[in-house]
Structure 1
Amino acid sequence: MNSTDRTPADLLRSALATDPARPLVTFYDDATGERVELSVATFANWVAKTSNLLQDGMSAEPGERVALLLPAHWQTAVWLLACASVGTVAELGGDPGRADHVVAGPGAFEAGLACRGERYALSLAPLGRRFVPGPPEGYADYAVDVPSFGDRFVPYAAVDPEEPALVVAGTELSGAEVVERARADAAGRDGGPGARVLSGLSYDTWDGVSAGLYAALAGGGSVVLCRNLDRLDEGALAARVESERVSAIVR
C-alpha cells in the first residue's frame, strides 16, 4: 500500500509492485469442493484482461454503470477491480434495467436481460469453465472471450478518484472513499495490516466486500473467501483456519 493510492486500482498496482508473489485471494466453494488461490500477480493479470474486455469488448466508458449480479466469488473480485481500473461504477446487485451493462451468474440470467447494454454471463463453475454447449440466450460467455484480451491495461482516460466507483447496499462510494474505508477496516482488523482474513460474508454489504477484498488490498493482507461456509462443521473450519494460517475470521 502506498499513501498516495486514491483508487482501488491504485491499491492493486502498489501491491503488484511491492510483492507480486504473495497470495491475495484464496477462494473456497464448500458446495463443490473448489479451491482456487490467486497471487497478487495472477489476480492482476485477470483484472487486466477483464479491464480490456470491459473497455474494448464492451465499449464501457468512465461513469457508466455495470450491474454485477454475482455472489462473493474470486471472479466477482476481479470484476470489481476491472470496473475500478476503467472508471465504470460497479453496482453489486444493481438494477439491470437501469444499468449500462450487466455481468450475471447462475440464478440472475433472467433478471439481467432487462439491461439493454452488453451482457456477460459467468458460469462460476470450478476453474472458471465456459458454458456447455453455450451461454444463456442474450449473453456472451466471459470464459470464452476474456482469454483473448491483453495482459496489460491502460485506460483511455485517467480515473478520477472523486467520481462514483462502487454501489453496495444502496450506498454509493467514490474510489477515494472505498480506499479510505478499506484502510480503516484493515487497521482495525484482528492481526492488523497484513492479516490473512477468512470471510464467509456475502458481497451484498460493505462489511462483506471489504473483508472479502478491499481491506486485504489496502492493508497488504490476503483473504480466504469462502462461499457456502455454513456447510462446514466447526472441526472442518478449525482445520481450514490452521492450514490457511488465518489470523482473523469474519462470518
Structure 2
Amino acid sequence: MELTRAAAQRPLVTFYDDAVGERLEFSRRTFDNWVAKTSNLLVEGLDVRPGGTVVLDLPAHWQTAVLLFAAWNTGQRVVIGPREELGSAADEGIWATDTPGNAPDWADEVLGLSLDAFGAPLPDAPAWVTDYAVEVRSYGDRFTGHSPASSSEQVLSVSNTTLSRAQIDRETQEFLEEHELTTEDRTLTVVEYTTSTALVAGLLAPLRAGGSVILCRNLDDDLIRRRIETEHVTATAGLEAPYAPVRRLL
C-alpha cells in the first residue's frame, strides 16, 4: 500500500503533544526509516507472517501511524478504533498498546509503547511485554520482506467493519478528489482513528496526495490560530470551528 508521493526531504509528519510541550518533525525519508525498522521488528522480533493481525490499542500518535504502515508492510490486517470494540474484532495476533495491563490473554505478543518523546522505555513493564522503544532501535532501516497486499485482501478492521485494500484505496481516492488535496496541502488533524473516514481524512488522504499532516495530541485551543500560521496549515480534520481560509475536511 503506497504511503506517499512526497519528496524524500520534505516534511511529512509533524507531531505535537501540548500536554508536554512536544514537537517532532519527520521527513518522508525519516518516517520511511521508522516504518522499515518497525516492519523488521514485527517480522524478525515478533515472528509475524502474512495474513496475521495487529491490534492498535493506541491514541492517534506518530508511532501509531508508523505501526499502521509497518503492519500493512508485513501483510497484516490492522484492527483499530474505539478501545471498547477492539477485543471483539480480533482473537489472535499482536496487541500494540500504551497500557499493557489491558492486553487480553489471547494476544500472541504484547508490544508496549511508552509514547515518550525521547524514546524512554515503558516504566515497570512486565517481562512478557516487548518494549517498542527499546527493541526497535536495533533493526534495519530498510525492509524488503513482503510484497504488497492484493486488492482483495482484508487489511483494516475499524468500528466492526472490515475493509479490503481495494476498498481503502477507493475511499482514499474519492476523498482526495472531493477535497482536491495536493502536494502543497498541510493538514492539521486532531481526529482519533475510530472510523475509516477519520483515518482517511486525518492521515491516509493527505499523505497519498503527497502533502503532509500535523498530528496534534492534547491540543491547546489557545494555540490553534498560531499553529495554523506557523505550520502553514491549509486544511483541518477534527476541529469543530472553521478557521478561514483553511479548508475543513472533517
Q: What TM-score range do you get, normalising by the shorter chain?
A: 0.7 to 0.9
Residue 111 of structure 2 corresponds to 120
Task: Show structure 1 runs of 4+ deviating over 3 A.
Answer: none
Residue 236 of structure 2 corresponds to 249
Secondary structure of 2:111's aligned partner:
strand
Cα distance in 1 for partners of 2:36, 2:26 equals 14
Count the aligned residue pairs: 232
CA contact (8 A) 1:63 1:87 kept: yes
Q: 1:224 Cα shift?
A: 0.7
CA contact (8 A) 1:193 1:220 kept: yes
CA contact (8 A) 1:89 1:166 kept: yes
How do residues 211-222 of structure 1 correspond to structure 2 at under 5 angstroms?
211-222=201-212
Write the letter of the residue equivalent to 1:84.
W
CA contact (8 A) 1:187 1:219 kept: no
**29, 50, 57: which one pairs with 2:38?**
50
Secondary structure of 1:95's aligned partner:
helix
**10, 14, 20: which one pairs with 1:32?**
20
Q: 1:209 Cα shift?
A: 1.5
CA contact (8 A) 1:113 1:138 kept: no
175-184 or 88-97, which deviates more: 88-97
CA contact (8 A) 1:23 1:40 kept: yes
The structure in which a higher percent of residues are helix is 1
Residue 221 of structure 2 corresponds to 232
Cα distance in 2 for partners of 1:145, 1:43 equals 17
How do residues 80-229 of structure 1 correspond to structure 2 at under 5 angstroms?
80-93=68-81, 94-95=86-87, 98-105=91-98, 108-132=99-123, 134-156=124-146, 158-189=148-179, 192-194=181-183, 195-229=185-219
Normalised TM-score (structure 2): 0.86
Unaligned runs of 5+ in 1: 1-6
CA contact (8 A) 1:179 1:218 kept: no
Q: 1:186 to 1:57 in 2, by over 3 A?
A: same
Cα distance in 2 for partners of 1:210, 1:156 equals 24
Cα distance in 2 for partners of 1:128, 1:183 equals 35
CA contact (8 A) 2:181 2:206 kept: no
Secondary structure of 1:237's aligned partner:
helix
Q: 1:169 Cα shift?
A: 1.5
Write the letter of the residue equivalent to 2:53.
R
Secondary structure of 2:66's aligned partner:
helix
Normalised TM-score (structure 1): 0.86
240-249 or 178-187, which deviates more: 178-187
Cα distance in 1 for partners of 2:198, 2:235 equals 14
CA contact (8 A) 1:47 1:79 kept: yes
Q: 1:156 Cα shift?
A: 4.2
Write the letter of the residue equivalent to 1:202.
E
Q: 1:173 to 1:50 in 2, by over 3 A?
A: same
Q: 1:187 to 1:129 in 2, by over 3 A?
A: farther
Write the letter of the residue equivalent to 1:128.
G
Secondary structure of 1:173's aligned partner:
strand
Secondary structure of 1:99's aligned partner:
coil
Q: 1:157 Cα shift?
A: 5.1
How do residues 43-82 of structure 1 correspond to structure 2 at under 5 angstroms?
43-82=31-70
Unaligned runs of 5+ in 2: 239-250
Secondary structure of 2:213's aligned partner:
strand
237-246 or 58-67, which deviates more: 58-67
Q: Deviations over 1:76-127 (max 9, x none)?
A: 000000011111011014228613111111xx32221423301110001113
CA contact (8 A) 1:168 1:205 kept: yes
